[in-house]
Structure 1
Amino acid sequence: MFIPPANDPLLEYLTSAILQNGHRARAAHLVSRMLLHIHASTRAPPVPIVREAIMSASPAVRVVSHRHATKTVFMPIALTEKQRVHAGVKAIIAASESKPGKTVDVRLAREMIAVVQGESRALEEKVRVHKLAMVNRQVTSSATAPHITDVYSGEI
């Protein structure tokens, strides 16, 4: 039985991310069945679980690599809220492709539950990106910080 998902902006965003070749009704049906599987597995309201899963899989930064002569410099860039949600949804969808299950909705439901339980590859990817950003955070601060010779010359 097809029950359209609740009118929630995050679920509509998830539907748009799953959408392929303009088949919005098919994507909405997948999201509805995913919510049904989550509810059947956890016996809890599925929308808060989906919201928590997407927010916990959403990174705060992305790392861009720049080439300076022969050196590759990684520069962390802060993400807006919409960019964070987009990255979290894409990470969950990518991680769900390796989950066991015949259909997309079952795999997505299992991945959402795994993210909430802290056992997902989407979370591992988020931690990896954050560690890389923390290691390379001097790249952004060195562009705005005064150079050491300016401090000694009294120009500041």
Structure 2
Amino acid sequence: MSLRTPISTVRRTFASSVKQLAEPATASTQQGGFSPLRDLLASSSTSTSSSSSTLPSGSSAFLTSPPTDIAQGSSRGYGVHSIPPIVDPTLDLFTNCLMKDGKKDDAQKMTSRILSMLHQSTNLSPQPLLKQAIILSSPSIKVLSMRKSAKTILTPRALTERQRTRQGIAWLLKASEKGRKGGQPRDQRISKEILNVLEGQSDVFKWLEERHKVAYLNRSNMTAR
């Protein structure tokens, strides 16, 4: 090409060469070259949905919807109150009250036998029956004897939940000792007394009435220290 070639001819030649260079790139793109960003995002979302569909329903639900505690920024995966205790507090306290000489295995076996007898007698779940009997046997107050200027003053005091439960269990076991002279085993006596409490025929109710009556008569001393 000489220097005298018109500028328009040069422009047409340059445009045709650029077009020829661009055509192979376009063809290679159509034949599987680098895909656009939207195609990559679409393919990644498709692979994610296909992988989540292979998981069990519970696991996929967990991945898509985390627990509320985690969503709220809690340090734990679940709240403290969401996890049940290892042992029932009332049942464990009942077992400790049955224990003698530190032999907790024997006390646990006796508790199991008592629950089994309750189930055989009523054909109901035994743990709610035991808890209900303990609640009915539990007083809400205690009466303290205080000395003040050579005089004994009876002062009522409120009990905490654990103190109430422990006193109810103690009265329940005390009421079951009345059948001891007949040679009846201890677990049978206790299970029978639990049924008596549920039927309202136990001596525990007499002790409850006496304590509440004494506390009522001495209610003016509740502010005494």
Figure out how many residues of one structure are paired with residues of the other and give that number.
138
Cα-to-partner distance string for 1:57-92 (whole Å, 9 max, x where unaligned)? 000000011223343211000000010001001110
Q: Which amino acid aligns with 2:221?
A: V
Q: Which amino acid aligns with 2:215?
A: A
User: Structure 2 regions of 5+ residues with no counterpart?
Assistant: 1-85
Q: 1:133 to 1:116 in 2, by over 3 A?
A: same
What TM-score results when the alignment is normalised by the length of structure 1?
0.82
Q: Which amino acid aligns with 1:109?
A: S
Please state if 1:80 is matched with 2:167. Answer: no
Please state if 1:125 is matched with 2:207. Answer: yes
CA RMSD of aligned residues (A): 1.8
- Determine what percentage of the aligned residue pairs are the same residue: 34
Which residue of 108, 122, 138 corresponds with 2:220? 138
Cα-to-partner distance string for 1:80-118 (whole Å, 9 max, x where unaligned)? 001000100111011111135611110110111111111
What TM-score results when the alignment is normalised by the length of structure 2?
0.58
Q: Rg bigger for which structure?
A: 2
Name the structure 2 match of 1:49: 129
Name the structure 2 match of 1:15: 95
8 Å contact from structure 1 (residues 60, 78) kept in 2:
yes
Pairwise mapping of residues 52-63 of structure 1 onto structure 2 (< 5 A)? 52-63=132-143
State the shift of 1:42 in Å: 1.5
Q: Which amino acid aligns with 1:133?
A: A
CA distance in 1, matches of 2:172, 2:220: 30
State the shift of 1:10 in Å: 1.1
CA distance in 2, matches of 1:101, 1:15: 22
Cα-to-partner distance string for 1:109-142 (whole Å, 9 max, x where unaligned)? 011111111111112111110111011101114x
Name the structure 1 match of 2:171: 91
Which residue of 198, 215, 221 corresponds with 1:116? 198
CA distance in 2, matches of 1:116, 1:64: 29
User: Structure 1 regions of 5+ residues with no counterpart?
Assistant: 1-5, 145-156
CA distance in 2, matches of 1:117, 1:62: 25
Which protein is richer in strand relative to its size? 1
Cα-to-partner distance string for 1:7-46 (whole Å, 9 max, x where unaligned)? 4221111111111111111000111111111111122111
8 Å contact from structure 1 (residues 101, 107) kept in 2:
no
